[in-house]
């Protein structure tokens, strides 16, 4: 159910207030105030979208009140109302941020039209403000890459659940692309043209989480100098993506559960019920079922979120996708910088695909490509270039002696290569072996680097 917008009428004439209410109450939640001070109090206690403000009030000037209300909430739309249209007054009001200026007596259809347009503008500004923030943090060219069976199964699952409104729980290690999966579900569903609101639960302090989710009114707590719209309100008719949902404390989990069940909440400092239509997609790099068993996560919330479970595999379990990802990231980097496209040599590609487990998953791979694209001047990225890169020290305790010796040798040689900045001739000299011997111990029988 969509939230009904709220209109506040501030006018000292009872007949005018009741007339506005009669005209607008079928479409909007209408609040009334007979003085400027009363209007301020009502405004503080409610999430107001539009104000119809009389210029002549018994306790203060309407123009001064316009400026004060705009200072409290810049995005609120205000329509000035007066018995006489004074051009200089109208111009001043518009300069101070008024949406329009109307005179009494008014025509019912004219009032409905101007209020409708103002409400539409308010909604657009709220959405555009959020989308601007999104553009700063999300690159639209990012997409899910993969041709392994594991990834094809995920693509099929995304297609199957995109049209539903059921909650989705995406689990997988850090850096596996859980947010990309969430965005793919959103972009293929009926809510694709509505907001996709990211709520990074791990990055928001516990004391501010309720305000971030539900919003607050001015004065709701120390430091709340103005009213604020919560992220769930912005996500109305769209998707709320709860990243690192496992980091929510138990009390916040209970409040979130109620929102998912009832589709309603209250801003901090207000008793007004705000109803929203939101699809929830949550993500975690921890096993939530195990957290439920340890009583660190609410069982009822887990089942509410886990209507459609999606498990994203780590990169080490889909190694066949690594060459695709490396090439894709190289192309992205070339487009981003405008520099010629680089390639990995055959041996470098082999090492990155088969001799490293990528504990940071796709995010680590992206960072590596960006680093190598920047520091390597040649068009081909070779083995000596990636010697800067940590190849991951193996745990050799449980290996057979022959394999343990080989693993230790590789790790030791990589450490020496770091000291020589990838120069294999110098490394071989320091190790007291021939350069071909070093090559054989690292990569098998010596072969020339190939693109």
- In whole angstroms, give the CA distance from residue 293 to residue 273: 34
* Residue 153 sits in the same domain as residue 254: yes
Domain containing 344 equals 322-443
* Residues 421-435: tens digit of each pLDDT: 777 888 888 888 888
* Residue 251 sits in the same domain as residue 375: no
* 449, part of any domain: no
Q: Please report the pLDDT score of residue 134 as a whole number.
A: 57
Neighbours of 93 (CB within 10 A): 24
Q: Please report the pLDDT score of residue 259 as a whole number.
A: 96
* 201, part of any domain: yes
CA torsion, ordered 283, 138, 359, 413, to nearest 10 deg: 180
* Residue 277 sits in the same domain as residue 334: no
CA–CA distance from 109 to each of 6, 16, 113, 116, 125 (Å)? 19, 16, 6, 10, 24
Split at pLDDT 50, 70, 90, the class of 402 is low
* Residue 159 sits in the same domain as residue 209: yes
* 339, part of any domain: yes
* β pairing state of 215-216 and 228-229: antiparallel
Q: Please report the pLDDT score of residue 391 as a whole number.
A: 44
SS3 44: helix
Cis peptide before 105 (omega within 30 of 0): yes
CATH number at residue 333: 1.10.8.60
When computed from its CA atoms, the radius of gyration of the chain, rounded to whole angstroms, is 30
- In whole angstroms, give the CA distance from residue 34 to residue 117: 25
The C-alpha angle with vertex 228 and arms to 226 and 229, in degrees rounded to 5, equals 160
Six-digit token string for 433: 């072996």
Whether residue 163 has pLDDT greater than 70: yes
* Residues 204-236: tens digit of each pLDDT: 988 899 999 998 887 888 877 767 788 998 898
Whether residue 84 has pLDDT greater than 80: no
Q: Please report the pLDDT score of residue 392 as a whole number.
A: 46
* Residue 119 sits in the same domain as residue 152: no
Split at pLDDT 50, 70, 90, the class of 2 is very low
Please give the mean pLDDT across all residues of the chain: 86
* Residue 345 sits in the same domain as residue 385: yes
Q: Are 281 and 168 in contact (CB under 8 A)?
A: yes
Whether residue 244 has pLDDT greater than 80: yes
Final residue of a structural domain among 61, 90, 124: 124
Count Cβ neighbours within 10 Å for each residue of 385-405 and write b for 16 or more, e otherwise. bbbbbebeebeeeeeeeeeee
* Residue 405 sits in the same domain as residue 425: yes
Q: Please report the pLDDT score of residue 447 as a whole number.
A: 47
Q: Please report the pLDDT score of residue 207 as a whole number.
A: 87
Arithmetic mean of pLDDT, 436-444:
74
CATH number at residue 252: 3.40.50.300
- In whole angstroms, give the CA distance from residue 171 to residue 188: 20
- DSSP single-letter state for residue 61: B
Whether residue 401 has pLDDT greater than 80: no
Q: Please report the pLDDT score of residue 304 as a whole number.
A: 97
* 448, part of any domain: no
* Residues 257-276: tens digit of each pLDDT: 999 999 999 988 888 788 89
Q: What is the pTM of this model?
A: 0.65
SS3 198: strand
The sign of the torsion formed by the CA atoms of 425, 431, 433, 436 equals negative
* Residue 206 sits in the same domain as residue 151: yes
Q: Please report the pLDDT score of residue 130 as a whole number.
A: 61
Six-digit token string for 390: 């940590």
| Strand partners for 10 | 33, 53
CATH number at residue 10: 3.40.50.2300
Q: What is the number of domains present in the chain?
A: 3
* Residue 302 sits in the same domain as residue 381: no
- In whole angstroms, give the CA distance from residue 243 to residue 168: 12
- In whole angstroms, give the CA distance from residue 396 to residue 379: 36
Nearest in space to 145 (alpha carbons), one of 284, 320, 316 = 320
SS3 391: coil
Whether residue 445 has pLDDT greater than 70: no
**Phi and psi dihedrals of 423, rounded to 5?**
-80, 105
* Residue 211 sits in the same domain as residue 287: yes
* Residues 114-162: tens digit of each pLDDT: 998 888 788 777 666 666 555 545 544 457 888 999 999 999 999 999 9
Final residue of a structural domain among 259, 282, 313: 313
Q: Please report the pLDDT score of residue 150 as a whole number.
A: 92
* Residues 17-59: tens digit of each pLDDT: 999 999 999 989 999 999 999 999 999 888 888 999 999 899 9
């Amino acid at each position: 159910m969509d939230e009904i917008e709220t209109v506040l009428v501030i006018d000292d004439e009872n007949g005018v207030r009741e007339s506005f209410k009669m005209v607008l109450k079928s479409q909007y939640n209408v609040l009334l105030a007979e003085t400027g001070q009363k209007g301020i109090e009502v405004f503080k206690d409610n999430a107001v979208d539009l104000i119809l403000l009389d210029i002549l009030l018994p306790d203060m000037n309407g123009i001064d009140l316009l400026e004060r209300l705009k200072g409290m909430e810049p995005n609120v739309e205000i329509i000035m109302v007066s018995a006489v249209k004074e051009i200089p007054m109208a111009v001043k009001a518009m300069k101070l941020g008024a949406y329009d200026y109307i005179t009494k007596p008014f025509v019912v259809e004219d009032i409905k039209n101007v209020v409708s347009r103002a409400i539409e503008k308010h909604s657009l500004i709220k959405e555009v403000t959020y989308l601007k923030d999104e553009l700063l943090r999300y690159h639209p060219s990012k997409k899910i890459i993969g041709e392994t069976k594991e990834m094809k199964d995920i693509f099929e699952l995304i297609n199957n659940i995109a049209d539903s409104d059921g909650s989705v729980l995406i689990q997988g290690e850090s850096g596996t692309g859980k947010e990309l999966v969430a965005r793919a579900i959103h972009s293929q569903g009926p809510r694709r043209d509505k907001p996709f609101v990211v709520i990074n639960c791990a990055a928001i302090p516990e004391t501010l989480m309720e305000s971030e989710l539900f919003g607050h009114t001015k004065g709701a707590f120390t430091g709340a100098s103005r009213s604020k719209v919560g992220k769930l309100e912005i996500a109305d008719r769209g998707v709320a993506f709860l990243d690192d949902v496992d980091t929510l404390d138990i009390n916040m989990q209970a409040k979130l559960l109620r929102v998912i069940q009832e589709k309603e909440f209250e801003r901090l400092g207000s008793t007004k019920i705000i109803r929203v239509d939101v699809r929830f997609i949550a993500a975690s790099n921890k096993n939530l079922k195990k957290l439920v068993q340890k009583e660190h996560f609410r069982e009822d919330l887990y089942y509410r979120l886990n209507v459609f479970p999606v498990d994203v595999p780590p990169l080490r379990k889909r190694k066949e996708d690594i060459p695709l990802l490396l090439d894709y990231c190289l192309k992205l980097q070339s487009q981003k910088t405008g520099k010629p496209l680089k390639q990995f040599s055959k041996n470098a590609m082999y090492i990155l695909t088969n001799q490293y487990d990528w504990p940071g998953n796709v995010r680590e791979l992206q960072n590596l490509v960006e680093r190598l694209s920047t520091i390597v001047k040649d068009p081909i990225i070779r083995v000596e270039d990636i010697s800067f890169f940590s190849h991951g020290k193996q745990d050799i305790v449980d290996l057979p002696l022959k394999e343990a010796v080989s693993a230790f040798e590789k790790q030791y040689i990589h450490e020496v290569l770091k000291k020589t900045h990838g120069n294999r001739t110098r490394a071989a000299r320091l190790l007291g072996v021939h350069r071909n011997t070093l090559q054989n111990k690292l990569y098998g029988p010596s072969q020339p680097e190939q693109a």
